[in-house]
Amino acid sequence: MSETGSLKVGFARQIINPPTGILTIGFGDRFKGNRGVHDDLTATAMVLALGDQQVGIVALDLLAVHEDFTRELENFCGIPLLLCCAHTHSAPMSFSSNPLRTKVKRYAETLREKIILAVDQARGQLQPASLFWGEGNVDIAVNRRERLPDGRVEIGVNPDGPVDRRVAVIEARSEEGEVLGRVINMQCHATVMGPENLLVSADWVGAMRRQLEDASGGLTVYIQGATGDLNPKLNVGNDFENISRLGGEAYGSISEILTRLQYIQVDRLTHLRSDVMIPLQGTEGMKKPAKTYREVAKTVGLPPFLADIALEFLYPWKTRLELYQGAWAFPIQENLLDLGGLVLMSMGMEVFNQIGQEARCFFEGKAAVFGSLVNSCYGYLPTRAEYELGGYEVDMSWKIYRMPGPMPANADQLALEGLERLKTKLD
């Protein structure tokens, strides 16, 4: 529902560092818990208010959040939330369905309280504000879908692959012209630090944020773009200097954009959401989801019956599966936030960069931000062309999420059509 009136914006931040010992997730070959904190993980809330409508955007230095976690927070806060994960692979688990994972569950409870507090504090800071927009390019990412001579694809560097280098900036200013905070949107995995790293870190995103805030004031809300097939160009050697270098390059591009921001007209605050169901191949007629995913155990030399134990240790996730058109399916949560001259859209997946670019084209003539890994995540969303080539994101990811079969080749089109349906509700 849209409302007219004066836009109000508020920002707040909480530190969300985990206790020592909790496993940091994102790599399948990391088996030891964290040994301490290199740099702080944060929950940064931005609340937008127009008339009686409010929406919260919360940037989290986490790999991902589960949709159940998002639902609990929204029920408590009483407003729609967009939980935007930076996708750092040096952050802890935030979800476990195993009652024996008491340390993880205690951290998840603390995390929930910190996010609620950040949102509440941001609401307490609400004040009349104007938004300003700018965009440019940043050269920090490489396409990671490396082609091997035999035709296979592995995670590496593909110098000929597509890379979305666009970076967008939204700046909120008070009536007096003071910078209240900013939204930064670009796309690059936060994986400068690899599996050998056992220190908690926001990776290059944190380094970019620190430099930006130290130089220009205000709080920074980072929205990770369509980064499914993009890795940082500096991700070797587990050198924390590299996160500073990469963050510095990102900041350099942002600082140039700050010199030429333009005012955005805000005349509405409309939030729409839907689940796009993605049917899984080979599951037609199954009375209950098969445990086909147990094949993943073979890749690490384990018998299939140990797959559940290994997955629960490394990535304790629970995928929501439903019968849909005769097959088992999982949901991609999609969000659309329309402010008039500015649109923010999201998908709860690790989205390949060309899909994000296509989604932004739905809103030509408007300032458009695309976020992935928002409110949930059930694996990768590749383009059809990349799907046909296979590789980890296509052949392995669905098993890690305990799905009974792979997604179809046209999943990208299903997701984009879902976003188009949301758009038609605005027209």
In degrees to the nearest 10, what's the CA dihedral of 70, 71, 73, 76? Answer: 170
Helices (H), 125-239: 203-216
Query: Burial of 281 by CB count in 10 Å (0-12 exposed, 13-18 middle, 19+ buried)?
Result: middle
Give the residue-averaged pLDDT of 197-215.
Answer: 98
13 within some domain: yes
Q: What tokens does 361 get?
A: 């084209």
299 within some domain: no
More confident residue, 179 or 298: 179
399 within some domain: no
Kindly tell me if the per-residue pLDDT of 300 is higher than 80.
Answer: no
424 within some domain: no
Task: Return mean pLDDT, the chain.
Answer: 95
Kindly tell me if the per-residue pLDDT of 201 is higher than 80.
Answer: yes
Confidence bin at 170 (pLDDT 50/70/90): very high
Contact 93, 22 (CB under 8 A): yes
- pLDDT single digits (tens) 379-408: 999 999 999 999 999 999 999 999 999 999
Strand segments, DSSP code E, in 110-210 are: 127-137, 141-143, 145-147, 153-155, 166-174, 179-186, 199-200
Q: Which long-range contacts (CB under 8 A, 24 or more apart) does 292-299 make?
A: 292/399, 292/403, 292/404, 292/405, 293/398, 293/399, 293/400, 293/401, 293/402, 293/403, 293/404, 294/399, 295/399, 296/396, 296/399, 296/400, 299/396
Residue 381: its H or E element: strand 380-381
Confidence bin at 100 (pLDDT 50/70/90): low
Report pTM.
0.96
Give the pLDDT of residue 5. Answer: 67
Residue 413: its H or E element: helix 411-426
- pLDDT single digits (tens) 14-27: 999 999 999 999 99
The residue segments making up the domain with residue 231 are 8-271+332-379
Give the residue-averaged pLDDT of 140-163.
Answer: 97
Kindly tell me if the per-residue pLDDT of 288 is higher than 70.
Answer: yes
3-state secondary structure of 294: helix
Give the pLDDT of residue 1. Answer: 39
Contact 331, 418 (CB under 8 A): no
Give the residue-averaged pLDDT of 257-277.
Answer: 98
369 within some domain: yes
Confidence bin at 2 (pLDDT 50/70/90): very low
Contact 131, 269 (CB under 8 A): no
3-state secondary structure of 304: helix
In degrees to the nearest 10, what's the CA dihedral of 364, 370, 375, 378? Answer: 110
Residue type, 213: E
418 within some domain: no
Beta-bridge partners for 128? 8
Give the residue-averaged pLDDT of 23-40.
Answer: 94
Give the residue-averaged pLDDT of 223-228.
Answer: 99
CA atoms of 409 and 368, how far apart (whole Å)? 27
284 within some domain: no
Give the pLDDT of residue 278. Answer: 99
CA atoms of 265 and 144, how far apart (whole Å)? 38
- Please state the domain count of the chain: 1
131 within some domain: yes
Residue type, 262: Q
Give the pLDDT of residue 373. Answer: 98
Provide the percentage of residues in the chain whose pLDDT is more than 70: 97
